[in-house]
Amino acid sequence: MVNRRKLMLSHDGVRIYHSWKGGRALTWWYALAPDHDAEGGGRDFDIRRLPEAFLNGLDLDMVRVSDAAQTLKAYERMLDAHREVLRRAIDARHDFEASVARDHRKGGAWTWLRRVMGR
């Protein structure tokens, strides 16, 4: 389990945290402030919506496995891929504030999901 106070990534002076909802860390949403609650702050962004150049060649999802030990390893591989995406974005001087504004201006995850599903 991820500790709320633990950074997801600190790289080149930029700190990225997990975003939380209902006491659990969200899978693809990250925050610019610690202890961010996804239901009330608008300080988070969806890593899947970062520019393709940062995502290229990385699998951001977790492979499903049946063994508990393998599940933990798959989860860590997924987090490593997320960290690499974030490092690429930081190295390219990506504007995370703009990502936050974009993801919340357009309705956040639910609106994005409805668009993807064609609803």
Average pLDDT of the residues in 79-105:
92
Q: Are 48 and 28 in contact (CB under 8 A)?
A: yes
pLDDT at 102: 84
Q: Structural domain boundaries of the chain? A: 6-117
Q: Are 26 and 38 in contact (CB under 8 A)?
A: yes
Asked whether the whole model's pTM tops 0.85, one would answer no
Q: What is the mean pLDDT of the chain?
A: 82
